[in-house]
Structure 1
Amino acid sequence: MTDEKPRGTALTPAAYGASRAALWTGVSALFTDVRGRVLLERVDYRPHCLLPGGAVDAGEAPSAAIAREVREELGLARVFPRVLALEWVPPTLPGTHPAMRFPGEHLYVYEGGVLSPAEIAALVLPPQEVTGLEWARPDDLDALMVTSDARRVRAALGARESGVPVVLEDGCPPGRADMRGGHTDT
């Protein structure tokens, strides 16, 4: 195929490629314990807690990325066939360093399941990055996480309960900007 002048409204392959939005892709996993508390990680690069997970590498499928991240961060070997939530995180996310040139992100939240006491006892943290684990009741998420992250976790818990995955934009269902309380680092 050549990059010839297109006919009509068609774009050349180069122009079409340049017109597409570039977004990062991230993954996280929702794990709870038998008491319904959510597993959160304390990390060495942020002041607030996060769900286990991370970045999808170039050419990597999101399901492979979450399996890799959970293995690296918790020592758990799992397959993740079910997405609870898919969120568009805006490029205006507070706290991102300008040098990162954050373009926005699609973030998948996968079902991690309920961890048994034996599975919890067998968790192994890496030597760096994850500095500790927190078990949080859903009502306590706002005290431990950025507001939009806490909303995402609660939405994923609701999706787990209903069996219906959710789509979110900046932590809220599309068209529900009234639910946004803003981003805050706590």
Structure 2
Amino acid sequence: MPISAYIRSLRERIGQDLLLLPAVSAVIVDDDGRILLARSHGDDQWALIGGGIEPGEEPSASIAREVREELGVEATVGQIVGVYGGDAMFITYANGDRCAYVTTAYACRLAPGPLVLEESELRDVGWFEPSEISKLDTQPYVERILVDAGVPI
């Protein structure tokens, strides 16, 4: 998904300087206990579905929107797993923009139906057994959030 109008307006004023941004992440588990992870374009690491919270948007509505936009299906948003920040949530994008995210992770379930990836953002998704996740190249925050969600990694 292209940069939001809000972030674009901030970048016009501050350039590539560090932005502290609120975000949301989805811990999506299927009926067999598998975890859904995704890879974005330009990034080989697996990550949770998620994204930025828009001004005025409730975080739980934000994660439902992100799932719908990125996967093309509705999600049932459950309880908060935790709130995460720190070094694992710093990112420098390919264009040089720097962000530090504080993400609220939610337990989510997907409605039945095929996944339709937002091709401009995601290049791949996969369902993984919990035992497989530690063998994957994941974003630094993924295992911490999954452990907090009760996933036996």
Same fold flag (TM > 0.5): yes
Query: Does the 8 A contact of 1:56 with 1:65 survive in 2?
Result: yes
1-side partners of 2:80 and 2:107: how far apart? 6
Following superposition, the deviation at residue 100 of structure 1 comes to 2.2
1:127 aligns with 119
Spell out the pairing of 1:47-86 with structure 2 (5 A cutoff). Answer: 47-86=44-83
2-side partners of 1:69 and 1:92: how far apart? 18
Residue 107 (structure 1) aligned with residue 103 (structure 2): yes
Residue 152 (structure 1) aligned with residue 148 (structure 2): no
Change (3 A) 1:91 1:127: closer
Query: Does the 8 A contact of 2:80 with 2:105 survive in 1?
Result: yes
Question: What TM-score, normalized to structure 2?
Answer: 0.72
Work out which of the two has the higher radius of gyration on C-alpha atoms and give 1 or 2.
Answer: 1
2-side partners of 1:137 and 1:74: how far apart? 20
Give the aligned residue type for 1:57.
E
Residue 138 (structure 1) aligned with residue 130 (structure 2): yes
Give the aligned residue type for 2:138.
M
Query: Does the 8 A contact of 1:138 with 1:154 survive in 2?
Result: no
Following superposition, the deviation at residue 81 of structure 1 comes to 4.7
Following superposition, the deviation at residue 79 of structure 1 comes to 4.6
Give the aligned residue type for 2:115.
L
1:171 aligns with none
RMSD: 2.6
Change (3 A) 1:92 1:81: closer
Query: Does the 8 A contact of 1:45 with 1:129 survive in 2?
Result: no
Identical positions, percent: 30
Higher helix share: 1
2:92 aligns with 96
Query: Does the 8 A contact of 2:23 with 2:50 survive in 1?
Result: yes
Give the aligned residue type for 1:80.
V
Change (3 A) 1:36 1:79: closer
Change (3 A) 1:79 1:154: same
Following superposition, the deviation at residue 39 of structure 1 comes to 0.4
1-side partners of 2:49 and 2:40: how far apart? 10
Q: Secondary structure at the match of 2:141?
A: helix
Unaligned runs of 5+ in 2: 1-18
Higher strand share: 2
1-side partners of 2:103 and 2:65: how far apart? 16
Give the aligned residue type for 1:111.
A
Query: Does the 8 A contact of 1:89 with 1:107 survive in 2?
Result: no
Question: What TM-score, normalized to structure 1?
Answer: 0.60
Q: Secondary structure at the match of 2:22?
A: strand
Q: Secondary structure at the match of 2:75?
A: coil
Query: Does the 8 A contact of 1:72 with 1:126 survive in 2?
Result: yes
Q: Between Structure 1 and Structure 2, how many residues are aligned?
A: 132
Unaligned runs of 5+ in 1: 1-21, 162-186
Moved over 6 A (4+): none
Q: Secondary structure at the match of 2:46?
A: coil
